[in-house]
């Protein structure tokens, strides 16, 4: 794949990631076959992702300041990591290997080029990004003390980034899973 086609795919990936998330949710609802146990375990995992996304959004001042505090002390991409936990949790809750494979494929196809593109932007915009990137892993957090970071959590940023939409989606899918569990909707 040449540079131009990679750039084109990155541009497409940025535009389709949210609509693709809705399509993935529809596929999930159709494929899900929850049990009480799978629901409890999966929703616990998904809740961790939801909390991580919420925390990350409250530290993120897009295009104004390099986010290095809160969860950004441990991973450069806590929003994407949170989304991965959400998808993994729902895959467990719904007991669907088809959904799990589909989610992994889509997350890789979307997140890898988008993360690379965002990191190019961040290197150009914030001179301190290179040092930050040397000390903080791209996705999977390093255990122990995180890198030093400046900033504090802001509910205003959480609301500004409309992260409450992730909470609404989480709750809606949870309700659908409970309905499928209780009424054995197959």
Fold of 3-183: 1.20.120
pLDDT given for residue 185 in this prediction: 57
pLDDT given for residue 155 in this prediction: 94
Supply 68's token pair: 């290095």
Q: What is the pTM of this model?
A: 0.86
With contact defined as beta carbons under 8 Å apart, do 147 and 136 qualify? yes
pLDDT given for residue 3 in this prediction: 59
Per-10-residue mean pLDDT of the chain, 186 residues long, equals 59 71 84 95 98 96 92 95 94 92 87 89 94 93 76 91 93 94 76
pLDDT given for residue 40 in this prediction: 97
String of b and e for 14-23 (b: at least 16 CB within 10 Å)? eeebeeebee
Q: What is the pLDDT of residues 70-93, one digit of tens each?
A: 999 999 999 999 999 999 999 999
């Amino acid at each position: 794949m040449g540079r131009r086609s990679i750039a084109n795919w990155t541009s497409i990936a940025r535009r389709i990631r949210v609509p693709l998330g809705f399509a993935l949710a529809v596929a999930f609802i159709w494929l899900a076959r929850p049990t009480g146990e799978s629901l409890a375990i999966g929703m616990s995992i998904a809740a961790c992702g939801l909390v991580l996304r919420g925390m990350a959004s409250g530290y993120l001042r897009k295009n104004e300041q390099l986010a290095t505090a809160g969860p950004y002390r441990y991973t450069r991409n806590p929003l994407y990591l949170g989304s991965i936990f959400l998808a993994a949790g729902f895959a467990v809750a719904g007991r669907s290997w088809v959904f799990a494979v589909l989610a992994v494929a889509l997350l890789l196809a979307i997140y890898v080029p988008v993360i690379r593109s965002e990191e190019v932007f961040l290197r150009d915009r914030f001179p301190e990004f290179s040092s930050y990137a040397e000390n903080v892993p791209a996705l999977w957090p390093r255990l122990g003390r995180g890198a030093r970071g400046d900033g504090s959590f802001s509910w205003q940023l959480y609301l500004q980034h409309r992260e409450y939409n992730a909470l609404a989606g989480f709750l809606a899918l949870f309700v659908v899973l409970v309905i499928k569990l209780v009424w054995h909707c197959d």
